[in-house]
Chain A
Amino acid sequence: MIKAILVFNNHGKPRLSKFYQYFDESLQQQIIKETFQLVSKRDDNVCNFLEGGSLIGGSDYKLIYRHYATLYFVFCVDSSESELGILDLIQVFVETLDKCFENVCELDLIFHADAVHHILSELVMGGMVLQTNMNDIITRIEDQNKLIKQESGISAAPARAVSVVKSMNIPQQIKDIKLPDLPQAIKDLKF
């Protein structure tokens, strides 16, 4: 089982945190912080395994991480996972991100944290490895993105149609309507 997946940068700023066991927010932050402290003082040429100690779960758990440029990808796993297997999983994850974002960089993770989550959910589900084949993962993600595009097409269509019919001069309309007042009025009506 994977207990947590953390991505943070060289300064310890979290870029993605996924806990497969419940911790409250402050504890999560503490775990991220401690993990960062553990991982960041290690050289790049040392091994990628770390005994997590008391951090999460105790002696049965290991931290397995990889460091790519500015980002650390840390998986906290128990003894049922193969160490080298998880290292490869991290690689698959990063390569998938690379494919999905086209030359992924930290900024992609910052601004598309949700997308990263969606990608991750195709690799790991509830702490168990779901899919390790990158092509399959990418197919799933593309399918879902297509679905989203379709939906936004459908749902945006009536709105677009309405707006086109109503007026071509939308900016003017906005000014005329005095937007700030109207929502307030609506709110007043309702509540």
Chain B
Amino acid sequence: MNSLIPLLVAAPLAGAALLLLGGRALDRFGHWIATALAALSFAFGLALFADMLGRDAEHRAVTEQLYSWIPVDGFQADVAFQLDQLSITFVLLITGVGTLIHLYSVGYMAHDERRRRFFAYLNLFLAAMLVLVLADNYLLLYVGWEGVGLASFLLIGFWQHKPSAATAAKKAFIVNRVGDMGLSIAIMLMFVEFGSFAFQPVFATAGDASEGKLTAIGLMLLLAACGKSAQVPLQSWLGDAMEGPTPVSALIHAATMVTAGVYLIVRSGAIFNLAPDAQTAVVVVGAVTLLFGAVVGCAKDDIKKALAGSTMSQIGYMIMAAGLGPIGYAFAIMHLVTHGFFKAGMFLGAGSVMHGMNDEVNMRHYGGLRKYMPVTFATFGLGYLAIIGFPGLSGFFSKDKIIEAAFAKGGTEGWILGLCALLGAAVTAFYMTRVMVLTFFGEKRWQPDAEGNDPHPHESPKSMTVPMVVLAFGSVFAGGLFVYGNSFLHWLEPVTGHAEGDSPLSPWTVTGLATACMLAGAALAWQMYGRSPVPVKPPVGSLLTRAARRDLLQDDFNHAVLVRPGTALAATLVWFDSRGLDGFVNGLAAAIGGISARLRRIQTGYVRTYALSMFGGTLVLVASTLLMRSV
């Protein structure tokens, strides 16, 4: 059975290779191959899951050693997969949601000339993401980490003819490099400290390392997580990444890749548990991002960017939960999975709306769409209810658990985190209600597109609505299923461990508070956007609104603090380089060239000269041989 594990990765990888190398012959049906291989991978995942369920909790984790990449004494780089409860959860999420989104893309990308290439990249992404979550060591994880970065870059910039898409891809790539640097440094530190970078030995001996070193490793891992999961201060790329085709936003930039940071922190729990300072940094990052993303989400008129702000904020919840240690690990992953359902569903809904509205993304140009796109409205609506935490739906359970865990942290810290989480819940309800109302309710504010065509909104084809419906089921039921008898917690506990915190508030109080916050936020949004007409041109707005529209000045900040000094530094270095180093190098080259030109003259072409030089050479050779003896 374990031999299926490599096949999980091999199926989509083969698809990517086939589609990229296959050429135009595969243009007509290549996308079906890709979808079938994604589904095959999902089937393998289900089979492995069923097999795992058949074993008792202690024997569920298995490893499958493929081969040793660099077998050097003291440096063992293995290609080995580890399948345990945590990774199978991801495998099912990635391949399941991935297959649905492949299917959706068949409809969404039907008219794109480069469709085959798009599906090749999607398959490549699946393979890389599976390597990331299946790796049994940090080096292989890094391979997957870079692989998803590459796929993300290729897919954000998929419409590379648009300068904005090309720039966005580059931005995502560069910001991610900062995080990748953190991961590589963390791996080096681990190797120096533990002599290995495989999970098992590192976690087993983590206790022997000093707290300072563990904190350093933890902070570097956090930096990596910030880059990949768009957490403050490396959040700036996610909004721009929405330039990619919508299925990409749904799969990579909502459901799976951006959650890799959460996976990394939860997986490295053994390190973070011993480094409380690093944990504090994690919760701070999570709490700040939770609010940052939510505020940005309130101000955006672009439906995808509003959802992107929301993604950032929701991942903030997960990171915060992961930073709480064993109290929160399982809940971070639980929210990750439910979020995967409802956020992917909403992105697909947004794509469906754009599909019907001539690729319009400005919500101020929507309005009253519920009658025209009933399926999209229903599925998006269920996702909406899930994310704001409407009682009984997925998000209600998973977010509630995180808020409880935040209070359970105890002390002042617990209160601050808990209140942040509650505030976040209120703001979430506000901006999501805003999105919902602007898009599906109220007056039609439709505008003709650039060519002057009036939009004729219509429901999307089956290949797009079916995945949305499936995801909507997940949005509704997954949370309830997970908390029923604490099944999800018990499932993950052998891997992540679990501890009950000491909450100052009873669970029911927290639930009540959260629901009240949610209702207040939603009511405010309804008051602002549902009961009064929405202007087509955005009003000037308050200072905070204007700042939030500019992503809370993240790009201005980066520009002033990083880009400009960086450019100046580079210019200085170039100056030194061209004056100093290049001068030396060019001088050296010129000198060698000069020697060469002089030496050439020895080559006169006269055989007598050659003979003389041979004779001289022989004399020197004989003399030096004799000399060697005498010294």
Please indicate whether A and B come from the same complex rather than being unrelated chains.
no
